[in-house]
Amino acid sequence: MQYSEGRLGRVFVIRLEEGEDLIGSIQRFLAEKGVSFGLVHFLGALREGRLVAGPKEPTVPPGPPFVEDLEGAWEIFGVATVYPGDGGEPSVHIHASAGHSDRALTGCLRERATTYLVVEAAVFEICGLVARRSVDDESGLRLPVLGERL
């Protein structure tokens, strides 16, 4: 187990509107406000997006993932963690659940996510952490490295 202790900093509430890029807008907002560490909670709807829902087999490193393309109007609820990447920029890892009619999916929201009508988000800045997001040699994933392991 790794850990780092911090404290709550600023709290922002943002509204993304029809057609906005959810992932890119959140990343730009974090960079503009200088949020290096934090959590982002969001809810609303997507017009389109891409969810990666785990590898086909539970191997390390993980094999090819299931990829679900969202098209139409999907209800969305999710959370993201924020750590500095290797270059110091905010690195965002987003997981979400999406529903449309009688279908529900959960996974890592990647590459694209276009807002349908509105997405509401709350950004919670965490101050005082010792952490970064970096590529893990064993898994090949970009994982948080916390505390004394830096």
Residue-wise pLDDT tens digits, 53-81? 988 888 888 888 889 999 999 999 999 99
DSSP string covering 22-71? HHHHHHHHHHHHT--SEEEEEEEEEEEEEEEEEESS--SS--PEEEEEEE
How many percent of the chain have pLDDT more than 90? 77
Confidence of residue 150 (pLDDT cuts 50, 70, 90): low
The set of residues, in sequence order, having a beta carbon less than 8 Å from that of 103 and lying 6+ positions away, is none
Mean pLDDT of the chain: 93
And the tokens for 134?
């970096």
Confidence of residue 51 (pLDDT cuts 50, 70, 90): very high
Beta bridge partners of 109: 51
How many residues are given for the chain? 150
Residue 36 has pLDDT above 70, yes or no: yes
What pLDDT score was predicted for residue 88? 85
What pLDDT score was predicted for residue 149? 64
The per-residue pLDDT for range 86-122, each reduced to its tens digit, is 888 899 999 999 999 999 999 999 989 999 999 999 9
Q: Which CATH architecture has domain 8-129?
A: 2-Layer Sandwich (3.30)
Interatomic CA distance for residues 148 and 102, integer angstroms:
46
Confidence of residue 20 (pLDDT cuts 50, 70, 90): very high
Confidence of residue 8 (pLDDT cuts 50, 70, 90): very high
What pLDDT score was predicted for residue 113? 97
Interatomic CA distance for residues 104 and 70, integer angstroms:
11
Interatomic CA distance for residues 51 and 70, integer angstroms:
8
